Structures are given as C-alpha cells and as structure tokens.
Amino acid sequence: MFFHNSKLQYEVRVEKPNPLFAKMLQQAIGGVEGEIRVAMQYFFQAMGARGNPKYRDLLIATATEELSHIEFLGHAVALNLEKAPAHMKDEAAKDPVVAAILGGMNPRHLLSSGLSAMPVNANGVPFDMSHVYATGNLGADMLANATAEAGGRVLASRLYELTDDPGMKDMLSFLIARDTMHQQQWLAVIEENGGFEGTLPIPNSTPQSAEATEHSYVFLNTSLDKEAPQGRWTSGPSLDGRGQFSMRPAQPMGQEPSLGKARPDSGAQKEQM
C-alpha cells in the first residue's frame, strides 16, 4: 500500500522559465525513457514476482521512488511554463523570438493542461503502457530494467547538456546519479545469480531438448558483400560457458512457401481460386 509525504524527493528550482525546455522535459516524464515507464514497469514486475521475495521488495521500493521522480519533474515542467505566452496577437507575431516560442512549445501546454505537466513525451504523444515490460522471468526483467535506466540516463545527460539553468542542472544531476544506481542495482541481481554464466541464456530453465543447439552459438552473416564482423561473438567460449562461438554465411534451410489456391467463399478474387 502506498503513502505520500507532501514534500518533493528533490528540490526543484527554475531560474529562467523556458517553455521549450518544458516540452523537452516531458520526455523524462512520458517518454519511453521516462519515469512513468519505470515506475509502472517495476510495479508490475513486483506484482508478478515469484521466487525469492527480496526481489519483490527491491522492485516495489524502486517503483515507489520513481513515482517521486514523476512528481518533481512534473513540478519542473510547470515552473518552466510560468511565463509562457498565451496569445499570438499582432505584436507577438512580429517578434521572432516570441514566434519561435509559440511555434516551438507544446501547444497543449497552453490549450489542454493549463500550463502544467502532461503524461506525454516531447512530441506530445501520450505514454502507452505497452512499454511496461514484465515477463515473469527475473533475468529478462532485470535486463529490461537496466535498459530503461540506461535510456533514462542518456536522456537526462542530453537534457543536462541542453539547459544552462542552474536549478535544472542541479535537478538533472540528481536524476543522473539515481539512474547510475538503478542501472547498478538491476545488473547486481544478475551478478548475484551467477552473472552471465549463471543467467544466460534467458530463460535458463528451457530444457536442452527444446533448443536446436547447433544454431545456438553461430553468428550468421547475411551480408552478400562483406565478411562477418569479427568480435567477441565470432570465436572463443560463449558467455554462458555452454558453447564455442563460430560464424557462417547465412543460407536458406527451408522450403519455398506456398499456400496454394484460396478457398471458395473466402472473400478472395475468383482468379485466386
């Protein structure tokens, strides 16, 4: 069960409100790299957690933290919108800077939300929950979480670079740090379970009989004009210690597909029957 403290997890100061930066910050709220996604992803993974209950605790604790990130980012968006222009009358249209702001800001910050944050990304596209990855497989979920935090830290670093507002830089430096920790903690679960050797291939419970292992450690080169790129994946032991990497040009092993004629009365054209 959730509870709330009226203070923000981190202080939010905006010295130079900037409606364009408000639009950009939305990516950190409602983008696929954003906080709604991680909050909900960890929450749903927690609700489906089976096995050692400490992972459930880990997930729900961090889900809860991410909800607090949404909250202070939402405040940052609203503060950046404080002085947004609300009309496009003649004098405004003639000032190119105002025109650029009016054209460049998210129009729905004016029209729909009344100058506050929305659950959308920097293009104004609403977040959709299909991005909540929760498979019931601990390894797959930990990789998904590290991925989300990697994307999140890339985004926060880019936002940090974009702004020169000291308050925003300070807030983003906190987010960057938390994303560092969250990358660490999800990968630490993999370390704790034996690293790549213990974890891979995911799922590690698939019976050997279900895998055509002659295809499991071979890099297939589908290029018609280049050699296979050489690297850790083309020779030496596999990361799971179960095989040896090799490589081979790809080639068809199957039939030419054919579905024959269409059924009568199946809604096809007569000439297909």
- Extract the annotated binding site for Ca(2+): 57, 221, 223
Residues 92-131 within binding reach of a second copy (CB under 8 A)? 93-94, 96-97, 99-108, 110-131
Length of the chain counted residue by residue: 273
Whole-angstrom Cα distance, residue 75 to residue 80? Answer: 9
What residues are designated binding site for Mn(2+)?
35, 66, 69, 149, 182
Instruction: Pick one of 36, 38, 42, 80: the residue that binds a second copy (CB under 8 A).
Output: 36
Indicate the Cα dihedral angle 91, 95, 101, 103, nearest 10°: 70
Question: Site size for a second copy, by CB under 8 A?
Answer: 201
Q: Contact, 196 vs 240, CB < 8 A?
A: yes
Instruction: Pick one of 61, 197, 244, 248: the residue that binds a second copy (CB under 8 A).
Output: 61
Instruction: Pick one of 14, 22, 38, 72: the residue that binds a second copy (CB under 8 A).
Output: 72
Exposure string of 131-158, with b = 16+ CB inside 10 Å and e = fewer, is: bbbbeebbbbbbbbbbebbbbbbebbee
Residues 5-24 within binding reach of a second copy (CB under 8 A)? 5-12, 18, 20-21, 23-24
Nearest distance in Å: CB 36, a second copy: 7
Residue type, 48: G
Nearest distance in Å: CB 154, a second copy: 5
Residue 167 interacting with a second copy (CB under 8 A): no
Residues 204-223 within binding reach of a second copy (CB under 8 A)? 204-207, 210-223
Q: Contact, 66 vs 42, CB < 8 A?
A: yes
- CA 76 vs. chain centroid, Å, equals 21
Instruction: Pick one of 14, 22, 38, 70: the residue that binds a second copy (CB under 8 A).
Output: 70
Instruction: Pick one of 42, 167, 233, 248: the residue that binds a second copy (CB under 8 A).
Output: 233
Exposure string of 172-194, with b = 16+ CB inside 10 Å and e = fewer, is: beebbebbeebbebbbebbeeee
Whole-angstrom Cα distance, residue 93 to residue 58? Answer: 52
Residue 230 interacting with a second copy (CB under 8 A): yes
Residues 234-263 within binding reach of a second copy (CB under 8 A)? 238-240, 245, 250-263
Instruction: Pick one of 15, 191, 197, 248: the residue that binds a second copy (CB under 8 A).
Output: 191
